[in-house]
Amino acid sequence: DGGITQSPKYLFRKEGQNVTLSCEQNLNHDAMYWYRQDPGQGLRLIYYSQIVNDFQKGDIAEGYSVSREKKESFPLTVTSAQKNPTAFYLCASISTGELFFGEGSRLTVL
């Protein structure tokens, strides 16, 4: 079945470590997105990519980095510069205005 796969589902990290969250889609969508979700704050856009080898900062890009070398893949790296990285991260792709979401990755910094 077509869809978006995020991994890992749960991840623990020590302070000062970088961590990369995987996002893969087989929907043949051009545009992909990364959102961060915190309780009571809804979803906030971190980065988005509308085409391969191109991406733009969203509203809260500081402390994060992305790459888009393949249409199917849009990994997100949470760097040690991110001050408060503990959150639920959601990857999505878009078609005719509708976002399709992965199941999310929950990152906890110890």
Partner 1 sequence: AQSVTQLDSQVPVFEEAPVELRCNYSSSVSVYLFWYVQYPNQGLQLLLKYLSGSTLVKGINGFEAEFNKSQTSFHLRKPSVHISDTAEYFCAVRKAFGNEKLTFGTGTRLTIIP
Residues near partner 1 (CB under 8 A) are 4, 6, 31, 33, 35, 40-45, 48, 50, 58, 88, 90, 92, 94, 97-104, 106
Question: Which three-class secondary structure state does DSSP give residue 82?
Answer: coil
Omega of the bond leading into 85 within 30 degrees of 0 (cis): no
Which class for 11: exposed (0-12), middle (13-18), buried (19 or more C-beta within 10 A)? middle
CB of 102 to partner 1, least distance (A): 5
CB of 20 to partner 1, least distance (A): 19
CB of 26 to partner 1, least distance (A): 16
Amino acid at site 101: F
Nearer to partner 1, 43 or 52 (CB): 43
Chain centre distance of CA 56: 13
Nearer to partner 1, 65 or 99 (CB): 99
Q: Which two tokens stand for residue 81?
A: 């510069």
Nearer to partner 1, 15 or 54 (CB): 54
